Amino acid sequence: MQRIRLRYTKRGRLRFTSHRDFQRAFERALRRAEVPMAYSAGFTPHPKVSYANAAPTGTGSEAEYLEIALTQKRDPELLRTLLDESLPTGLDIVEAAEARTSGLADRLTASVWELRLDGVGAEEARRAVDAFNAAETVEVQRRTKNGVRTFDTRSAVVELESVETPSSPADRPGGRPCAILRLVVRHVTPAVRPDDVLSGLRAVADLAPPVPAAVTRLAQGLLDEETGTVTDPLAPDREAAATEPHPAGPTATATVPA
């Protein structure tokens, strides 16, 4: 009867939850918030939830997306509030929109990532970024369930740059240097992840941070090839809702769980 698209985050320690962990937590939140979910057919019905391009375990994110199917109409913002209150802090539902267009997954063609490299100086990071950008190909290896696979990371990277580093000592534990990289990468097959780009930086410039990088997805959406920017994938739904007339009539409501 209705489809709702949600944007959620993985912050703080919750970045270490796996996608399966989030699925379990989200399904519990759906039950607690008494969301009128549509279910699949068959012997083991499951709530109709479509997850799109989940971030790897261990990375934070400000832009994860999913879609749910309901059997009764609900106000998207009220539903967002109910679900957010039913999830642990760090897994936050930050935006909701009624699905009025098709193909959410088709609009997730690129991601913007922030890579925080503690213990790496800004000048060292800039040299490594310049070497990566200057290379025609940057091959790395990744172990998969089918064995070790070699693939090119350079072709998937739209933009890689070193940005201004934190000036506050509180943002630089122990007073160590800290470099921050901004990465825009296309969603290709095989997927090129931020850790693959870090492996590429090690290959072309011997950049090896002394501690694991803190990686956060800042945005994902449709890539504008002309400008290199990533657009908001929920914008078409909001625009359609703003222009579509709504017939008057009773609207189903929901209550906040105790």
pLDDT digit string (tens) for 158-212?
999 999 765 544 455 567 899 999 999 999 988 999 999 999 999 999 999 999 9
Let me know the angle formed at the C-alpha of 62 by 2 and 149, rounded to the nearest 5 degrees.
100
Average pLDDT across the chain, whole number: 90
Mean pLDDT of 223-231: 91
Please answer whether residues 220 and 65 qualify as being in contact, where contact means their C-beta atoms are separated by less than 8 angstroms: yes
For residue 15, CA distances in Å to 11, 59, 65, 82, 180 come to 6, 5, 15, 22, 18
pLDDT digit string (tens) for 38-75?
999 888 899 999 999 999 999 999 999 999 999 999 99
For position 164, what pLDDT does the model report? 78
* pLDDT bracket for residue 135 (50, 70, 90): very high
- 118: part of which helix (H) or strand (E)? strand 110-118
Let me know the angle formed at the C-alpha of 9 by 27 and 6, rounded to the nearest 5 degrees.
60
* pLDDT bracket for residue 257 (50, 70, 90): very low
Please answer whether residues 62 and 218 qualify as being in contact, where contact means their C-beta atoms are separated by less than 8 angstroms: yes
Mean pLDDT of 226-251: 81
Amino acid symbol at 81 = T
For position 131, what pLDDT does the model report? 97
Please answer whether residues 90 and 164 qualify as being in contact, where contact means their C-beta atoms are separated by less than 8 angstroms: no
Q: Identify the weakest region by mean pLDDT among 59-68, 73-82, 92-101, 246-255.
A: 246-255
The model's pTM: 0.88
Domains, the chain: 2-105 (3.30.70.580), 108-231 (3.30.70)
Mean pLDDT of 227-243: 92
